[in-house]
Structures are given as C-alpha cells and as structure tokens.
Amino acid sequence: MKVITWNVNGVRAVERKKELQQLLTTQDPDVLMLQETKGSPEQFSNYLKAHPDYRQHYACAEKPGYAGTSIWVRGALEETLDDVMFITDMPGNPNADEGRVSHLTFRQGGETWDLLSIYFPNGGKSEQAWEEKLVFYDRTHDLMNALRAEGRVVLVGGDMNVAHNEIDLARPKENDGKIGFHPSERAWMDRLIADGWSDVWRARNPGVTDVYSWWHLVTRARARNVGWRIDYFLMDKAQEKRVKRIDYLMDQMGSDHCPIVMEVK
C-alpha cells in the first residue's frame, strides 16, 4: 500500500495549479492524506469530490476556507476492505470544529487498520491557542495509544507543526524556544518515541540533514532550502518493519509543504 501525506495549503489551489494531478499521476498512491484543505465538498470540483479512481472522505472546518483534512482511498482498494468507517474527530479535541482529524478505520486480512490524517494547530494566535495546541498533542497521543492497545495497526500522517530536534530545521539556534521548536512541543515528540512510537523517516535516516517539509513562502526559503521538517508519518515501532520505502518529495511544488510517500505492507 502506497500512502502519501501532504499539507496542500488549499486543495483547490493545488488542483488549479495542476500540481495535485501531477502527484497522482507520478506517484499513483493507494491512499492520499491531505491537510489544510480549506474548503468543503460543495465548493469542490468533481475531481476533488467524485474522482473516478478514489473514494474521497473530508473533515471540514466550520469556518470557511480554514484548516480541514481529507483521506482519499483508491476505490478498487476500498471495495476489498471490511467494516470501513470514516471518523471526523477524536475524544477530547479542543478544536473539534476545525476539521483537523480525518480517521479511516477498516479491516483487511484479519487486521484492523486505523489511518489518521491530522493537521495539528499552529498555536501562535494567542495564549489560549497555545494551550489548546498542547492539549491537542496529548489527546492525539491518547488516541494512538488506545487504538494500539486494541491490537490495531495505527498509521498517523500529517502536519504536526513541530520540528523535533535541531537536525530537523535549518536554523535551530535562531528558532530555539519559538513556536514550532518550543521545548513543550518537542517534549511531546520525546514522549511519543519513549512510548514506542516511531518517526518512521528519521528512524531510517538517523543522521541525514537538509531534508525538510515546509519552507517560508514570503522569504523564498525553499530556493535556499532553509526549511523545517514538521510533517511526519508515525507508526508503532513494532510495526515499522512493514515499511518498504519512505521519502520526502521535496521537488513536488504547489504548496509551502512537500508530500511524504511511504510504501507499507
């Protein structure tokens, strides 16, 4: 199963630029997780809501043009799955009206899978937004643990809005303590790793530098590769052996983020 996660910064924009079409053509994923879709199906083209090859599931924000997530599953694949259910929230979410969680669960081959496309809050608007971001982190961790405790295969992909360690951003000293590289956010990643969860790409590329997933648009940081690695795939460490390949598609344009592609058994 080839899975891609991508913060598109507006799904209609990447469609208009033909960048989404290029990604699907060149990568041909079985599952596509999107974040920051910024819209609802009634605003979308048939390509975005009635694609001939994919079943498209959306979690939309109540605020127009804001946040939102999605999971697309190849129709031929979804037809082979049992007990398919799409969930658009998680317990204890302080941002329940923002469409930040798309959760697809299904059974296949005697296993239950949970795929989560998550757009984590930035937390920079106010003190309340910062506190809600930390709660969102903890509630996500709780959900991951609860699903794993039931014997499910859990795969989380998305924009987590935190660079874990200094190696994960181009200018760690200048950004130390700032939102996105704050000790409280990084400590959440530490807790995940200590709890047996794997940042799959970093686990396979422990010393690799200069690989990022987000660049500041206004300063044209992408041309200089002054970026942050804030988009991830997370899995239970015990399940990591299923992964055949994982890469950041840094040449894919269309958004201020780049996609991650992973092939998993």
- Our answer to whether residue 138 is catalytic in this structure is no
pLDDT at 39: 96
Q: Print the domain residue range for 200.
A: 2-264
Render pLDDT for 199-252 as a digit per residue (tens, 0 to 9): 999 999 999 999 999 999 999 999 999 999 999 999 999 999 999 999 999 999
Alpha carbon distance 243, 263 (integer Å): 6
99-138: b (≥16 Cβ within 10 Å) or e: bbbbbbbbeeeeebbbbbbbbbbebeeeeeebebbbebbe
Q: What angle do CA 77, 11, 63 make, to 5 degrees?
A: 115
pLDDT digits (tens, 9 = 90+) for 55-75: 999 999 999 999 999 999 999
Question: For the chain, how many structural domains are there in total?
Answer: 1
pLDDT value of residue 86: 98
pLDDT at 127: 96
Q: Which amino acid is at 152?
A: R
What would the mean pLDDT of 37-41 be, rounded to a whole number? 96
Do the beta carbons of residue 217 and residue 256 sit within 8 Å? yes
Residue range 157-172: mean pLDDT, rounded: 98
Q: Name the strand (E) or helix (H) holding 69.
A: strand 69-74
Instruction: Return the pLDDT at 232.
Output: 98
Nearest Cα neighbor of 59 from 69, 49, 51 is 69
- 209 token code pair: 């530098």
Catalytic residue among 30, 53, 142, 159: 159
Strand order from edge to edge, sheet including 101-108: 82-87, 101-108, 111-119, 153-159, 231-236, 197-199
Q: What is the per-residue pLDDT across 63-116, written as a single tens digit (0 to 9) for each? A: 999 999 999 999 999 999 999 999 999 999 999 999 999 999 999 989 999 999
Q: Does residue 100 contact residue 119 with C-beta atoms inside 8 Å?
A: yes
| CA separation for the pair 127, 2 (Å, rounded) | 39
Q: What CATH number does residue 169 fall under?
A: 3.60.10.10
pTM of the model: 0.97
Q: How many CB atoms lie within 10 A of CB 149?
A: 8
Confidence category of residue 179, pLDDT binned at 50, 70, 90: very high
